[in-house]
Structure 1
Amino acid sequence: MKILLSLILGVFCMAGFQASAAVNDGMIVRIAKIEVEPNSLDEYLVFLKENGEASLEKEKGVISLFAMQDKEKPNLISIVEIYKDQETYQQHIKTAHFQKYKTGTIKMVKKLELIDMDAVDPTVIGKIFVKAE
């Protein structure tokens, strides 16, 4: 989890991302809620971390794949996904690392819910993880 957070911090710091412009260009903000089969959790997390790291390192328009586990039910995963635009998202789901994640975890996932969101204050995006340093 610390590696993923570090990668997200790096993306925000290096990119100098201007959120208001990205929102006007169709930025995608989504929360993915995933229920993983408890017996498959450790293996699932390996796939999840590999995909997150590869996506943030290799895909410029993937801004956030911030994965979290429920403290009481660790097989419940939530991911804050932020993509520069729809084109970036479509390219992301075609990458080898995403396809490896998707096909490798398909039998591990009991439930998947994708919730599309709108940013209340899109100008805050560049400051989100700065305080975590």
Structure 2
Amino acid sequence: MNNDFVILAVKKMRPKFIARLGVKAYNDSSKSFQELLLSKSNPRTIEISSKPDDNGLLWTTKVTATLRSDHDLLHGPCIIEVRCMDCFYILGSEDIPCRPTIKEQDLVELSIEIQTKNRPTPTKKVLSYSVDCE
């Protein structure tokens, strides 16, 4: 009996601290996001991991944060901007928007989980720019 097999390991990056979160409607073509008010005392992280499936790797991006107030755009299809200390991620698109899970209590608990075939790529932040520059 031939026991040839390949073991693909689950890859998991350390959770990153979220500095800011933004949201816009999935069909909004502008570059601007509306900032969400984050709770300063509760943890807020983004975590990216992968696991093998029949067609290669499946990447999972999980965002967990507590907001000080709710936002109407979070209750429909949307695009989320996650800003970390050294980069940012855009989660969702017009074709495949995010659909956050919201738990309303004294504070609003936000969680997002997206699965993709491609690894989410961080965009390095531009620290400052002139008004005349794009």
Fold match, TM over 0.5? no
User: Normalization by structure 1: what TM-score?
Assistant: 0.34
Structure having the larger proportion of residues in strand: 2
Bigger relative contact order, structure 1 or 2, given CA contacts below 8 A and separation 6+? 1
Structure having the larger proportion of residues in helix: 1
User: Normalization by structure 2: what TM-score?
Assistant: 0.33
